[in-house]
Amino acid sequence: MIVYEVKTNFTEHLLTILRDKATDTEDFRKASLKLSEVLITEGISKLPIKKVTIDTPVENNITSITIQKEIIFLPILRAGLLLLPAAINAYSKGRIGFIGIKRNEETLKPYLYYFKSPIVRNGFYFILDPMLATGGTAYLTIEKLIEAGIKSENIFFISLICSQEGVKMLSQFKNIKIVTASIDRELNNKGYILPGLGDAGDRFCSTENVEVIESYGN
């Protein structure tokens, strides 16, 4: 497993906005979009390249490079949706799938309730989830992709922040890549990342402290 922790003054600035509990929904969305695009672009930059010859408006036969790969963006519902606009902005030709996994808040165990994704054998899969906490949800997602015939070396996990425990969990997959802005200190007894940024899904969807209808199956 390879971990790319993208630490710059700009990513730290965006993390400060995201971590601050005083940040309102609008600014949280703006900062998460900007940071997501930085991380997704970093992931794309790790893909294999192809040398090409092009003509510029002022000179011919210039040797350059291009990325001509199938990329499939796979947000984990629902919080992973906050990274999807940035993914499309970064690589507008990317295909899109969805996976729905619910974590039991008592046992912290994940279970799958929805999975629909294009299967491209030699494609590169970018799993989108703003936080890698216990790692259970991410582990199940990667497991499903590998079962579908996707090579582990073609899987990227894009996350705004990670816990050390989550990174350790995914280290069982030897060839995947993690791209994140921070590996935080630890998890608390409820499985939340510390210092973290709270519940990214609730803050992005503006569903903190309001009643929510939630239903799975019939």
Q: What's the sign of the alpha-carbon dihedral 189, 190, 191, 195?
A: negative
Instruction: Identify whether 78 is preceded by a cis peptide bond (ω within 30 of 0).
Output: yes
Cα dist. 7→24, 35, 39 in Å?
24, 11, 10
- Catalytic-role residue among 20, 95, 199, 207: 199
Does the active-site annotation cover 53? no
Mean pLDDT of 122-126: 95
What per-residue confidence (pLDDT) applies to 102? 84
Selected catalytic residue, list 103, 129, 180, 207: 103
- Report the mean per-residue pLDDT for the chain: 92
> Quick one: which of 8, 17, 13, 118 has its CA closest to 71?
118
Distance in angstroms (rounded) separating the CA atoms of residues 82 and 78 = 8
Per-residue pLDDT, 108 = 66
| C-alpha–C-alpha distance, residues 117 and 129, integer Å | 16
Q: Is the preceding peptide bond at 195 cis, omega within 30 degrees of 0?
A: yes
DSSP secondary structure code for residue 94 in this structure: -
pLDDT digits (tens, 9 = 90+) for 176-205: 999 999 999 999 988 889 999 999 988 988
Q: Active-site residue among 27, 107, 121, 185?
A: 107
Mean pLDDT, range 160-165, rounded to an integer: 96
Catalytic residue among 20, 29, 78, 202: 202
Does residue 129 carry a catalytic annotation?
Answer: no
23 touches 31 (CB < 8 A) = yes
pLDDT value of position 10: 97
Domains detected in the chain: 2-48+67-205 (3.40.50.2020)
- Collapsing DSSP to helix, strand or coil, 165 comes out as helix
**Residue 103 appears among annotated catalytic residues:** yes
Active site residue 134: no
Q: For residues 63 and 113, is the Cβ–Cβ distance under 8 A? A: no
Residue 22: its pLDDT value, please? 96
